[in-house]
Chain A
Amino acid sequence: MASAYHINPSRRRTCPRTAARVAVFAFAALILCGLCAPAAEAVEAEAVETCVPTAEYGCVNGILQTVGQKPIAGVNVTLGGTEAGETTTADDGTWAFKVADDGTYTVTIPQDVANRHGFATNSAEVEIVKQSFSKQRGVVRFDKTAASDGTSKSNSASTDAKQSTSANAGTTSAASSTSSATWTRFCQQLYSGIIFGLLLGLMAVGMNLVYGTTGLSSFSHGEQVTLGGLMAYVGTQMLHMPVIVSAVFAVVIGGLTGLLQDQFIWGPLRRKRVGTMQQMIVTIGLSMALQYLYQFFFGGDIKGIVTSVPEGIQLGPITTNAPALICAGIALVTIIGVTVFLYCTRLGRATRAVSDNAALAAASGINVDSVVRIVWTISCALAALSGVLLGIYLNGIAWNTGVTLLMLMFAAVTLGGLGTANGALVGALVIGIVADVSTLVIPSDMRYASALAILILVLLVRPQGIFGKRNRIG
């Protein structure tokens, strides 16, 4: 799932009062899962060429094409439901409506067109919730026969929605400043890359600590990140606690899972002298089980931790908002804290000793097992913290957010040098910046591909990573 983790902050700018009202509504809509359609009179929806969802407007759009993917031009498309409108498809088959109100919309094309092209249906329903990450854009395609089926419709709509939000990250800012567009975009992308890199660094540091002390590449680390976000969601939206308390709650739960995991899974495996390769596959199994456990309990949609929309801040060419800055700040402070812990405390030095040579550390009186247990706890707590921050920064967290980022964490860790303490942060910054800045040249839904390509290129030149050391053979 390539999903959008960078929403252009400018989109979040809105009048605070409306924001609060909309937020409350969005929350209700989430809970009731669209059962309540507001009884509003039919207003005129605006037919536009292309539509980008903003805080004020949602989008209903699509491409009308044959099953063989040939565009069908000049067909009347009718919008009904909360707002009404009519448009004709363009030469490339695209059509779009800009809608102002949340609610359920029905899109209809003439029956004879549907018959001629063998579509299963000539109308489809979409639900628009402007403040929801996944429902601000509804995409309707008739060439996919599955569109009438309830479950797969919501799947495909949410997939498309994510794709489109990631795509608009660049386009809106380009539209807002047409003249010095490239420079502004570059700054904006660099900035969001750095913030993303810091959050990624926070995840990767924990993963690297575990790798350093146990030699295990943990595939379930992504699920620990998700867990943090979901627990914060439980805290704010289900238990109605303040954000900070929820965050602490999430971090404590995260740390606790780390402790329990080490107690009941990794500790016994180490004592059984199970190889790290084998343990790595155990983490894969754990990752799969946890992921779908989340889906089982929380469903497939994106959960917002905070539903209010923050006010935008303009810093030179960069548009941002306070939560993003605070998240980045917390991430940076935490990473520095971990470094200080590693180099200036007794326990930290013990941790580094275990990383260096576990047998020697054990021989010199360090209790390796308890050090590893603490590392697991810290690592999972850090992952949970980063999950909370990520959820706030991105406006939501889903059951598969962590696993989507797992690859990038691995890339960051490998890039920095496996098992090196500070390498992960540098690697993560490189990955974050490359991923975001590369959208200036390549389509934005390929941004993660560029980050992973960088990983492979660096390995070609410097196999041990940026900070790694080479070992002697024999």
Chain B
Amino acid sequence: MTIIANILGELFAPTTAAYALAAIGLNIHFGMTGLMNMGQAGFMLLGAYGFAITQMHGANLFSSVLFALLLAAVYALLLGIPTLKLGPDYLAMVTLAAAEIVRIVGRSTSMTNITGGSAGIAPQDFTTQFEDLSPLPDGTSTFLIWTYNNNIANSWWLRIVAWALVALCAFLCWRWFRSPWGRVLKGIREDENAVRSLGKSVTRCKMQALVVGGLFGALAGIVFVLPRSLNPDSLGRTVTFYTWTILLLGGAATIMGPILGSCVLWVLLTAVKETMRVSIPPTVISSNQIEALGWIIVGVALMLLVIFRPQGILGNKKELAFNG
């Protein structure tokens, strides 16, 4: 019973929400504009750092979030200026490289005073204000089969806020998808020179898309670290690849795709891992190996998905976001 509760709990876990947010951001980059952002984790990590560090120094919650967003926006501008005029490969490599730079610098021992080095920042240093803001009473609550703390760490309060953010971002995304701005972005995805020849500011629109997607990424980073500690290595390249899997699973260039993808991926992955943990004795396969097996499944799933159903669960085969 607890296993089933655990597995189904992933449906609305804060981490699932965080990945959904990151994938919505990536959807604006890739699904709408065709930008190959291979460093969404960089935006997330920067957002998380911006939030946690200002919280540690006693800034109020609102300004911390604002600072995190500002940091992500500046980062997006810095990445965009040299690469947006170049081909998609360049953006992919530069975002990938920049995300690594953020992580390497963040985990460096010489930055211990600011970022906490490779150990990162402990949750009690940055989650108190967020938890204090909760209108819910202290203690734990049970809803159907799930029991979580109301306010602390992996809480109901965090779930409510995280999914409210997902809903807000999905709404914005929906509005943009159907607007003339979204049409210009889709045009850029198809052929930016054609759009340029029609008098649209391609570079400005790409930059806007990069920034907006990055802001969603920064929000995702904050949601991602709130139920745990901020550890730079937990927001590495692999998180970016997870986000890509989620986006392609759900369907790029769709509104609900990233959310659905995130839910499906985490529920399935947890189900597989939990079942293996219960059914296979640890002497045959250790818990580390089960963890590795989970990754192998994600990797293979990503490959099969891209080869056999590149439009994902919700996508339209004709409106595939890939350039053929």
Contacts and interface: CB of A to CB of B under 8 A. Distances in A.
Interface string B292-324: 110110111111111100100000000000111
A285 B109 contact: no
A285 B304 CA distance: 9
Given A445-B109, A452-B101, A474-B193, A282 B307 contact: yes
B300 A163 contact: no
Contacts of A449: 100-101, 104-105
A298 B68 CA distance: 40
A1 B233 contact: yes
Contacts of B98: 452, 456
Given A269-B307, A410-B93, A288 B193 contact: no
Contacts of A144: 119
A69 B110 contact: no
A116 B252 CA distance: 53
B300 A460 contact: no
Contacts, number: 154
Nearest to A296: B292
Contact of B288 (A151, A163, A448): A151
Interface stretch (A228-236, A271-279, A324-332): A271-279
Interface string B229-241: 0000100111001
A285 B301 contact: yes
Contacts of B108: 2, 443, 445-446
Interface in A252-281: 269, 273-275, 277-278, 280-281
A295 to B, nearest CB: 5
B75 interface: no
A159 B125 contact: no
A456 B94 contact: yes
Nearest to A442: B110
Nearest to B112: A69
B90 A463 contact: yes
B107 interface: yes
B82 A285 contact: no
Contact of B302 (A217, A288, A445): A288
A418 to B, nearest CB: 6
B205 interface: no
Given A285-B299, A443-B109, A277 B292 contact: no
A443 B288 CA distance: 32
Interface string B92-127: 111011101100110111101000101100101100
Nearest to A450: B101
A151 B104 CA distance: 23
Nearest to B236: A1
Contacts of B92: 217, 280
Contacts of A1: 233, 236
Given A2-B107, A144-B119, A281-B302, 5 more contacts: A273-B324, A275-B323, A278-B307, A295-B289, A455-B93
Interface of A: 1-2, 67-69, 141, 144, 151, 159-160, 163, 167, 217, 269, 273-275, 277-278, 280-282, 284-293, 295-296, 299-300, 403, 407, 410-411, 414, 418, 443, 445-446, 448-449, 452-453, 455-456, 459-460, 463, 473-474
